[in-house]
């Protein structure tokens, strides 16, 4: 075993290990608005997104696809982006201090390109879409976010006449608006308990199924919250363009189909 390691090391030194670094980084497929396409290893490790509920960090390891929120490129979007994670979650916000470097293996060596942000049309990362049989909740915000959270680790903080309590989402059977002001709720728990209370300021504490560890937001930002499942489909049609890279189309279709079943 030691001999094999030495031989690989010597061989690597002799060849300079050219191009190896670009292959060990997250692989990305970048489309520019002038028809150019860059395929290689992304040196950027994190995306910082300024959202309506704070600054969020996203590792490129969980990123699936990124593109302008509106328009056809980042120049038209003004750094406002939609980031798809590989589990189908979508986050919207301003890309803070945007920078993209791609290392491309050309001619036996890595060539690092500083990608012009304004020209980015679409970025897709190598990797399969991820599915789970675990019960989730799907959270839609008034600003366009649409993401999945772990129902066993996400809470809503209430305060009422009988005190303060913070049930996990998986413990709540129903949540109905009361007859009083906008922040009066009737909370029915699965154990049979019914309580009347208001949701505290920034009282929605969510644990995304992928991405940031915790997200806290005001109930006023929540447009909808529904139980959800993201089971793997029987078959997935891959994109004809770079099919080894993430494509949000199958998960987008599943989410659209699920929304059709929601009661209005």
pLDDT band at residue 230 under the 50/70/90 scheme: confident
Question: Cα 148 vs. chain centroid, distance in angstroms?
Answer: 9
pLDDT at 232 over 60: yes
- Condensed to tens digits (0 to 9), the pLDDT of residues 123-181 reads 999 988 998 888 899 999 999 999 999 999 999 999 999 999 999 999 999 988 877 67
- Give the separation between CA 4 and CA 27, rounded to whole angstroms: 28
Antiparallel, parallel or unpaired: β 63-68 and 80-85: antiparallel
Give the pLDDT of residue 14: 39
pLDDT at 257 over 50: yes
Give the pLDDT of residue 241: 67
pTM: 0.86
Least confident of 31-40, 62-71, 116-125, 231-240: 231-240
- Give the separation between CA 230 and CA 228, rounded to whole angstroms: 7
Cβ atoms < 10 Å from Cβ of 87 = 20
Q: Which residue has the higher pLDDT, 3 or 219?
A: 219
- Condensed to tens digits (0 to 9), the pLDDT of residues 177-210 reads 877 677 889 999 999 999 999 999 888 999 999 9
* Cβ 169 vs Cβ 175: under 8 Å: no
pLDDT at 106 over 70: yes
């Amino acid at each position: 075993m030691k001999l094999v390691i030495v031989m690989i090391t010597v061989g690597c030194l002799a060849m300079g290990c050219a191009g190896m670094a670009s292959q060990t980084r997250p692989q990305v497929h970048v489309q520019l608005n002038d028809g150019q396409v860059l395929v290689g290893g992304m040196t950027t490790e994190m995306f910082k997104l300024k959202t309506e509920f704070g600054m969020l960090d996203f590792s490129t390891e969980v990123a699936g696809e990124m593109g302008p929120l509106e328009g056809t490129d980042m120049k038209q979007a003004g750094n406002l982006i939609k980031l798809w994670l590989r589990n189908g979650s979508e986050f919207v916000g301003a890309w803070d201090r945007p920078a993209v470097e791609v290392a491309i293996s050309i001619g036996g060596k890595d060539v690092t390109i500083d990608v012009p942000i304004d020209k980015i049309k679409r970025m897709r990362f190598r990797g399969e879409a991820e599915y789970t049989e675990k019960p989730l909740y799907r959270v839609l915000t008034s600003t366009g976010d649409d993401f999945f959270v772990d129902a066993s680790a996400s809470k809503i903080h209430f305060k009422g006449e009988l005190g303060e309590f913070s049930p996990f989402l998986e413990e709540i059977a129903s949540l109905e608006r009361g007859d009083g002001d906008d922040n009066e709720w009737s909370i029915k728990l699965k154990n049979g308990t019914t309580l009347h209370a208001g949701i505290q300021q920034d009282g929605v504490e969510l644990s995304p199924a992928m991405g940031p560890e915790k997200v806290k937001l005001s109930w006023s930002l929540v447009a909808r919250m529904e139980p959800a499942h993201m089971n793997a489909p029987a078959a997935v049609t891959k994109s004809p363009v770079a099919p080894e890279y993430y494509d949000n189309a199958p998960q987008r279709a599943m989410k659209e189909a699920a929304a059709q079943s929601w009661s209005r």
